[in-house]
Structure 1
Amino acid sequence: MSSSATPVTSPSDRPAEVGPGGERRELIESHEPRNIIVLAAFQVMLRVGWIFKTESVIMPAVVDAISGAGWVRGCLPVLNRVGQSLPPLFLAERLRNSRLKRRWLFTTTLMGAGIFAILAIIWATVDEKRQPLMTVGFLMLYTLFFGITGVNQLAIGTVQGKLVRAHRRGRLMTIYGIIGSIGAVTAAAILLTRWLAIPENRGYTWIFAFVAGGFVVAALSLLALFEPPDEYVVTPRRTPRHHFSNAWQVYRHDRSFRRAANVSMLFIGSVLLFPHYRWLAADQLGTSSTDMVGWVIAQNIGVGLFSPVFGTIADRHGNRIVMRLEIFLGALVPLLAILMASGLVPHGGDYYWIVFVFLGLVPVTIRTIINYTLELADETEQPRYLSTMHICLAIPFVVSPLAGLWLDVFPDESKYTGVCVLFGAVSLLMTIGGFLTFRMAEPRHLPIDVTQLPDTPGESLS
C-alpha cells in the first residue's frame, strides 16, 4: 500500500501544475461556446427521449400494467439508484484515465437506446403482459438500463467538468432546460397522448421505440464535440473493496463533500415517492391514463421554468444557495400532493398537474448537486467525487421497497393515512436537508479546507 496522500483543496487554490496546462486550458476555452451548444443539443435530444419514460408517471404505469403490486412499484427507485451508483463507482477510475471522455458518453447513450429497443420488441411480441416472467424481465432490463445511465451521467459530469468552466455550467443548464422542455413537451403532446390511448397498453411499443430513437440522435450529436485528448494512463486492476474504500476516503476526509453528501441524501428521498404520485391520484381522485400526458408535460414545463432561474443564480452566486432554495421548495411537493388528494381542494384531480410542475425541481436539483460536486475537486478527481456522490444518493433507497410495502399493509379505506405518513416523513427529511445547507461551504467564493485523502488498501495492485 502506498503511503502517499493527496491534498484536496478548492480548484482555484491549487497550483497550476496540478491542473491542466495553460495551453491546453486556452484551447478548451476557445472551443467552449461550441461545446456548450453541442452539449446542450445532446441534453435536449436526451430529454426528448426521456420524457417518454419518466420515472414519476410512465414507468410506474408500465409496472401497473404487468404487475400492479405496490412493492414492485417500490422497487423502481431502489433499482434506479443502485443501478446509477455501483457501476460508476467501479468505472470512475477507468473514465478518469481514458484519453477521450466523450467516447464513454457516446457508447453509454447508444447502449441505453439498445435497452429500450429490446423493450419495444418484447412488448410487441408478448401477448400476455401480466405474468411473473414479464415482471422479472422488465425489472432486470430496468436495472441494466440505469446501470448504463449511471456511467452515462458520470461521463456527462466529467465531460462537462473538463470542457465547461464552473461559471458557465448554469448557462448550459439554462439552454438545455428551456429548449429541452419545449421539444419534450411538443413531442409528448403530439405523440404520447395518441400512444397511451391505444387499447390494451399496446402503445408502449411505440413509446419504447421513440425513447430508443431519441437516445440514438443524442449520441450522434456528440460527434461534433471538441475534446483534446488526455494523456493515456494504464488503469490497474482493482478489487470491489478498493472502490468502496476509495469512496469512503472521500466522504470521511473531505468535510465539504461530506456536508454536501449528507444534504443530498436527505433530499433524494423525494425520488423515493415518484412511483406513488400517479397511484395516489388514481386511487384518491379517480384519474385515468389520459391524465398522465398532462402530468408528463407539466413536469417538463417545470424543468424548463426552473432551469433558467436556478441556472442564472448558480452562475452568479454559486450552487450552494441554489441547492438551498431548491430543497426547501421541493420539500413542499409531497405536502401539496397530499392536499390535492385530500378532498379539501374542490376538483383536486383537475389541478393535480401543479404537483408535477414542482416535481420538475427534482432533476434540476440533482443537476445542481452534480455541479456543486464538480467544484469540490480538480479535473483529475472529478470522476472519483461524482461516483462517490452517486453512492451516497443510493443509500436512502435501501428502504424504497419498504415504502411500497407500507402502503400495501393499509386496507383500501385507509391507504390515504399511510400516504400522509410516508409523504410527510419525506418532506420533513428534505426540510432538515435544507437547513443543513447553511453548514455547507461555497467552493467558488470560499476556500475549501485542505484535506488529506489517504490511499486506500490495494491501491498499488496491478
Structure 2
Amino acid sequence: MSPSATSLRSPNEHTAEESLSEDRREMIEADEPRNILVLAGYQVLLRMAWIFKTESVIMPAVVDTISGAGWVRGCLPVLNRVGQSIPPLFMAERLRNSHLKYRWLYITTLMGAAIFALLALIWFLVEQKRQPMMTLAFLLLYTLFFGVTGVNQLAIGTVQGKLVRANRRGRLMTISGIVGSIAAVTAAGFLLTRWLAMPDNTGYAWIFAFVAGGFVAAALLLKWLIEPPDERIATPRRTPRHHFSSAWQVYRQDRSFRRAANVGMLFIGSILLFPHYRWVAAEQLGTSSTDMVGWVIAQNLGVGFFSPIFGTIADRHGNRIVMRLEIFAGAMVPLLAIIMASGFVPNGGDWYWIVFAFLGLVPVTIKTIFNYTLELADETEHPRYLSTMRICFAVPFVISPLAGLLLDLFPADSKFTGVGILFGTVSCLMLIGGILTFRMAEPRHRPVDATELPVVRG
C-alpha cells in the first residue's frame, strides 16, 4: 500500500493509536444511561411526528389526492431512497471529522421541521390541489426532506455508535419502540382521525404542521445529550467521484460488509410496495380514508411489539440471527396482503390491518441492519460504512417507478394480476435475502473479514 494511503480495519485489528482512550471510554460509559434515555426520547418524539406522515399510508394518500397516477405513486420510494442515500454519502466524511456529532442531528431535525412547515403552508394556501404544479412542488419537497432525513439517520447511527455500546443498542431500540408506539398511537387516535375526516382534504395542512412541531420538540431534547468532543479535523474538498469510489471500495474489499449489503438490498425491496398496500385495499376491498387511521395505528403497534423482542435477542445473541428472523417474517407480508385482497378471506377489509401490523417489521429490520453495520468498523469509520449501506439500499429503487407503471399497464378488470406478480416477486427476493444471512459473519462471536481499504484521492 502506498505511503499516502491509510487503512481501514475491523474492530479486531485496532492499533493503539486508533483505539479510544480508556478515560474517554469510561466517560462515555458513565453517561450512557442518560444518553440512552435522551436518544430514546428523541426517537419517541420523531415517531409521534412520523406516524402522521407514514410512507405506507398517509403520503401515498396525499399523492392520490393531487395526482392519482400509479407511476407518481411509484416515484415515492425511489425519491425516498435516493434522498436517503446520496446526501449521506457526500456528508459522511464531514460528519466523521466534526467536533460534535449531535449538532448534525439537531440541525437536520430542524431542517425537516422547516420543510413540513412549508408544505403545511402550501396546502393551506392552494385551493386547487389536483394540478401538475402541486404534484411537482410536493415531489420536490418530498425529495428534499428525505435528503435531509438521510443525513439525519446517518447522524443518528454515528451518535449511537459513539455513545452507546453494541450490547446496549437493542435496549435503546426496545425503549424507543415501546414508548414511541404508545405515544404515536395515542396522538394518531386523538388527532389523525379528525384531520383525515375534514372536507376537501384540508386536514392535511394540520397533519403537516403537527409533523413540523414534533420535529422541533425532538431537536430541542437533544440539548440534554452529553457527548465528549472529538478533535477538529479539516475536511478537504472532494469530488462526487471520490465519494462513490470510497463507497465502492468498502463494498468490494470488505467481504463481511458486502454479504450484509447483498442481504440488505434484497430486503429493502419491500419498501417498493409501501405506496401500493393502501391502493390495493382501496381498489380490491373498497376501503376508505377513515380506515387509514387503523392501519397507521396497527403499523406502529407492530413496531412497538417487534422492537423489544428483536432488540433483546440482538443484545444477547447478535444482530445476524435477528436479521434472519426479521427478513423471513417480512417476506410473508406481501403474500398476506394478496390473500387478504383476493377475497379468499371473508371481509378482508376488516382484517387488512394485520398486513400493516406486520409492516412494522420493516423499520425494525432496517435498524437491525444498521446496528450490524456499526459492528463491522471502527467508530471513526461508522459514517463511511453507514452511508455506503444506504447507497446499497438505493440500488433496487431504480425500478420503483416501473413497479407503479406495471400496475397502470393492466386493464381495470385484471389489475390484481399485476399486484400478484409484483408482490410475489418482492416476496421471493426477500426470501433469498433471508437465506443469504447464513453466509454472514457474527462480529461478536468471531472475527469479521478484515480488509485494508486505501483512501481514495479526490
For normalisation by structure 1, the TM-score amounts to: 0.98
Taking the aligned partners of 2:19 and 2:399, their CA distance within structure 1 comes to: 40
Taking the aligned partners of 1:164 and 1:344, their CA distance within structure 2 comes to: 47
Structure 2, gaps ≥5 residues long: none
**How many Å apart are 1:8 and its aligned residue?**
1.6
Taking the aligned partners of 2:141 and 2:415, their CA distance within structure 1 comes to: 30
Alignment of structure 1 residues 311-350 onto 2, 5 Å = 311-350=311-350
**How many Å apart are 1:100 and its aligned residue?**
0.1
Alignment of structure 1 residues 282-321 onto 2, 5 Å = 282-321=282-321
Taking the aligned partners of 2:342 and 2:394, their CA distance within structure 1 comes to: 31
**How many Å apart are 1:3 and its aligned residue?**
4.2
Residue in 1 that maps onto 2:9: 8
Q: Is 449-458 or 393-402 further displaced after alignment? A: 449-458
Taking the aligned partners of 2:374 and 2:4, their CA distance within structure 1 comes to: 26
Taking the aligned partners of 2:452 and 2:227, their CA distance within structure 1 comes to: 31
Alignment of structure 1 residues 41-440 onto 2, 5 Å = 41-440=41-440
Describe the SS at the equivalent of 2:453.
strand
Over the aligned positions, Cα root-mean-square deviation in angstroms equals 0.9
**How many Å apart are 1:15 and its aligned residue?**
3.4
Structure 1, gaps ≥5 residues long: none
Runs of 4+ more than 3 Å apart: none
One-letter amino acid of the structure 1 residue matched with residue 65 of structure 2: A
Contact 1:13–1:447 under 8 Å retained in 2: no
1:338-367 CA distance string (max 9 Å, x none): 000000100000000000000000000000
Contact 2:120–2:209 under 8 Å retained in 1: yes
Describe the SS at the equivalent of 1:6.
coil
**How many Å apart are 1:454 and its aligned residue?**
1.9
**How many Å apart are 1:383 and its aligned residue?**
0.3
**How many Å apart are 1:17 and its aligned residue?**
3.0
**How many Å apart are 1:256 and its aligned residue?**
0.1
Describe the SS at the equivalent of 1:414.
helix
Contact 1:168–1:315 under 8 Å retained in 2: yes
Taking the aligned partners of 1:431 and 1:7, their CA distance within structure 2 comes to: 32
Taking the aligned partners of 2:414 and 2:454, their CA distance within structure 1 comes to: 52
Q: Size of the alignment, in residue pairs?
A: 457
Taking the aligned partners of 1:195 and 1:105, their CA distance within structure 2 comes to: 30
Change (3 A) 1:14 1:435: same
Taking the aligned partners of 1:325 and 1:2, their CA distance within structure 2 comes to: 44
**How many Å apart are 1:165 and its aligned residue?**
0.2
One-letter amino acid of the structure 2 residue matched with residue 41 of structure 1: G
Taking the aligned partners of 1:39 and 1:421, their CA distance within structure 2 comes to: 41
Taking the aligned partners of 2:214 and 2:391, their CA distance within structure 1 comes to: 28
One-letter amino acid of the structure 2 residue matched with residue 31 of structure 1: D
Taking the aligned partners of 1:445 and 1:221, their CA distance within structure 2 comes to: 36
Taking the aligned partners of 2:206 and 2:457, their CA distance within structure 1 comes to: 49
Taking the aligned partners of 1:246 and 1:418, their CA distance within structure 2 comes to: 39
**How many Å apart are 1:16 and its aligned residue?**
4.1
Taking the aligned partners of 1:232 and 1:179, their CA distance within structure 2 comes to: 36
1:299-326 CA distance string (max 9 Å, x none): 0000000000000000000000000000
